[in-house]
Chain A
Amino acid sequence: MTFLPVRVRPLSDEAALCVNDAGRFFAGSHGFVDRLLDEALTPMDRQFLAREGHALEADDPLGLAAHLHGVAERLSRAGPLDYLILVPTLRCNLSCSYCQVSRAGLAAPGFDWSEETLAAVLACLDALSTDRIKIEFQGGEPTLRPDLLRAVIARCERFAERQFVVCTNLQQIDDEILALFDRPDLFISTSLDGDATTHGRNRTGGPVRTDRFLANLRTVVDRYGPGKVSALPTIDATAPPDIDTLIEAYAAHGLDSIFLRPINFQGFARKRHKDAREQDLAWRAYYERFVRAIIARNWRDRGRVLEETYLSIALRRIFQPGRDRHVDLRNPNPMGLDYIVVDHDGMVYPTDEARMLARSGIIDLSIGDVRRGWDSEARDQLNAHATNQFDPACQRCAYQPYCGRDLVDDIARYGRIDMPRLETEFCRRHLHLFDFVFALIYSDDPAVIYSLSRWLRLPGTPASLGARLQ
């Protein structure tokens, strides 16, 4: 019998989590770990390991092929470019305390796409090889330029599958904007930081504008149903909102998915929230309480399933590799291939965070511009390091098959990408996230298993989700 390597991480007082390179895992009791170290595995142990894909019998070509397939499946492969994040204007009618883009004033000239930039974006769309397209309009406030949105959308008619997302502060909606929103292939993404007071403090700066936003949010949710509208809160970790109030603010608008983000360490935020780095621990405690509050709510009110978006992504990555095309968490995580960001001046960035870094003068991570292209040396240099596969810390980490890599985050925080992995915020955040998710997976609380089953999109609720070896 050949044992396939597993990486081990403490799970609880009684058990250790064992994960193989294909991401298959089980909870092994300390008794098992002792037997393993003493080379005293029982026939039952061996049977379990073979059945679960952690050991190969002498003549088992299927077990070997399945394992190799499983390892390969964990590696993402970027397809052709089919996702564009477009910033038609940097101007905005709000000035949020943590604005991530160093926004431009409402009347400031020179912060919108020029004729040439629009033409280049359209030419870029024409040249795409896929038959599906996803476009996200960011800003600034993209609805300040409905004409540009219309021009881009019209040019996408040729794609069989289309999805447009407008990221808007919903401060101003009129008939022209609604006519755009009426398209069934268009989705609305907005920010909702909690109750009116919190939202006002962080974003609108006053009750009049907050009321207008809430009225507009209500209008679009009523008009289109919640499936069309999503919202994200941004949490100021120095003064996080009351958890139940935040959850109910979302539930009240029929919004079931809450992507709980800490303040981004960039742009104006960098100046105004200097202590963001120290907030990490408090933030994680808050995050756990938040998820547990959702779990309790789901259990009380079975008619409704709320979720924390990033936790669901991590959870699905553990069990369902290869399903999520989500670019937030993947490995390798190459840049400037399957998605790009085109800024208001036509510069091309690998991610929105990279754009903000350049905008706030920290480092220029542009990889080209939309007229001349972005098949650049800068991009290739980034992509040579876009994997966690060869990182010495990740290679020893049980979570490597599920985890990702975020070069831009490292550069933003440390100005370099060769930090010892365990000392990066990305790593600490994901170690915590996966520790937390596995604690939930091995929870005996039926309320927890119920919520996890819903987040994993299971038809029923299994008795348990993870294998155990005593």
Chain B
Amino acid sequence: MIRLTLPALAEAERPFVTRLRIDPNADTDIRDSLLVNEEAAGASFSGARGLIAIDGATGRELDGDVILVQPAPGRVERLLRAGSRTNSLLVTERCDQLCVMCSQPPKKTHVDRFALLEQACLLAPPGMLIGISGGEPTLYKEQLFDMVERVLAARDDLAFHILTNAQHFTVEDAERLRSPLYARTSWGIPLYATDAGLHDRIVGKAGAFDRLERSLATLILAGARVELRTVLVSANLHELPALARYVAARLRFVEAWSIMQLEHIGFAKGRWHALHVDHRRDFAPIAAALDQASLHGIRAQLFNFPRCTVPPAYRSMAIASISDWKRKYMPGCAACREQGQCSGFFEWHPDADAEASVTPL
């Protein structure tokens, strides 16, 4: 697992954002910190805000990374890693839903870091797709929109993918979201069932389904780009074909529909046996949903489904969905021809279960 937080010492007193560089001749920026020293324990960089000594990574590994330096707790957060295609910024840990399988259970408090995150985005490597997640980012809708718009206006090479529960879009937002800037923003939105009661129970909020439909109507009228996400749990497995018909009838505008296998972390870890579906045993409802979506030209994809656990006809839909820093493969995977296209397993997935399920292709 690649560590996203590293212990560090810094001269500065207040948190700041900087980009790490090892080559002084590279195209540099006033906000950069240049490598000044490297030793076994780590690397030191120097910039306008003074020295930073980072433990546990080499200069080369850190080159190009945009980091948030936090002097008081003595650490740096690697916000945007230059070598990764999947970077995600957490804008808040608060959320107004409480999903039964939440991988990152929300907290009550909010630390406003928008200004720092915006600086980080402006330093992002060229062409990066920046993920934004939470908590629920649209709880701070105004700040979020402001940040997205300012960054996209300043950098025409960047794009955002924002995970949101879509409980807070209003009709009035449509006008703003029609701005051409949002052509480079897509929204990842969860929907678990067509039955409002079931969806509400899964997300732990009464009225959530109804509110979600209203937001989706706004997003259609705004011409927004939406990726629909459905985490598979035992309660919605047999609802998937109906959900597929619903998507075809009402949500044809989505760019993609991702059906996601459960992540063994957060709430799901403690409730694994109640929630987890072994799709190898009962793939039929998933297959029916994928057929229905494909029939209507909706791009369906499977997230977190190791390819060898998916029937051959549907295998091309199982994509390498797990970010590099939290992904692992089993020893058996080394012999597999499809590892490059395979999601693998979450770092925190129980080895015994993973080991038992791989059959190299």
Contact = CB atoms under 8 A, between A and B. Distances in A.
A460 B217 CA distance: 31
Interface in B278-293: 287-288, 290-292
Interface string A140-177: 00000000000000000000000000000000000000
B287 A52 contact: no
B295 A66 contact: no
B249 interface: yes
A53 B295 contact: no
Contact of A70 (B246, B252, B288, B313): B252
Given A51-B249, A73-B252, A319-B297, A65 B291 contact: no
A53 B250 contact: yes
Contacts of A62: 213-214, 216-217, 220, 250
Interface residues of A, number: 30
Interface stretch (A190-198, A268-276, A320-328): A320-328
Given A62-B216, A66-B252, A70-B252, A462 B288 contact: yes
Contacts of B249: 24, 51-53, 66
Interface in A13-42: 24
Given A64-B217, A66-B220, A320 B250 contact: no
A65 B288 CA distance: 26
Interface stretch (A131-139, A180-188, A258-266, A451-459): A451-459
B221 interface: yes
B348 interface: no
A8 B4 CA distance: 60
Given A319-B296, A323-B297, A460-B313, A66 B288 contact: no
A462 B292 contact: yes
A11 interface: no
A201 interface: no
A465 interface: yes
B341 interface: no
A79 interface: no
B253 interface: yes
A293 B213 CA distance: 46
Nearest to B294: A458
B22 interface: no
A461 B290 CA distance: 11
A233 interface: no
Given A62-B216, A69-B220, A322 B297 contact: yes
A63 B292 contact: no
A63 B252 CA distance: 11
Contacts of A323: 297
Given A24-B249, A66-B252, A462 B217 contact: no
A61 interface: yes
Interface in A47-105: 51-53, 60-66, 68-70, 73
A322 B296 CA distance: 11
Contacts of A63: 250
B292 A61 contact: no
B250 A458 contact: no
A61 B296 CA distance: 22
Nearest to A54: B249
Given A319-B297, A320-B296, A61 B287 contact: no
Contacts of B245: 51
Interface string A279-316: 00000000000000000000000000000000000001
B140 interface: no
B296 to A, nearest CB: 6
B292 A69 contact: no
B294 A457 contact: yes
B220 A65 contact: yes
B252 A456 contact: no
A207 B291 CA distance: 48
Interface in B210-249: 213-214, 216-218, 220-221, 245-246, 249
A321 B246 CA distance: 17
A61 B218 CA distance: 8
Contacts of B217: 61-62, 64-66
A69 B221 CA distance: 8
Contacts of A465: 295
Interface string A435-470: 000000000000000000100111111100100000
B251 interface: yes
B297 A459 contact: no
Contacts of A462: 288, 291-292, 295
A230 to B, nearest CB: 23
Nearest to A52: B249
30 contacts: A51-B246, A51-B249, A60-B213, A61-B213, A61-B218, A62-B217, A62-B250, A63-B250, A65-B217, A66-B220, A66-B249, A66-B252, A66-B253, A68-B220, A69-B220, A69-B252, A319-B297, A320-B295, A322-B297, A323-B297, A453-B291, A456-B295, A458-B291, A459-B291, A459-B294, A459-B314, A460-B288, A460-B313, A461-B291, A462-B292
Given A53-B250, A461-B291, 6 more contacts: A65-B217, A69-B252, A319-B297, A320-B296, A458-B294, A459-B294
Interface of A: 24, 51-53, 60-66, 68-70, 73, 316, 319-323, 453, 456-462, 465
Q: Which 5 A-B pairs give the minimum distances between C-beta atoms?
A: A320-B297, A61-B217, A65-B220, A62-B217, A65-B217
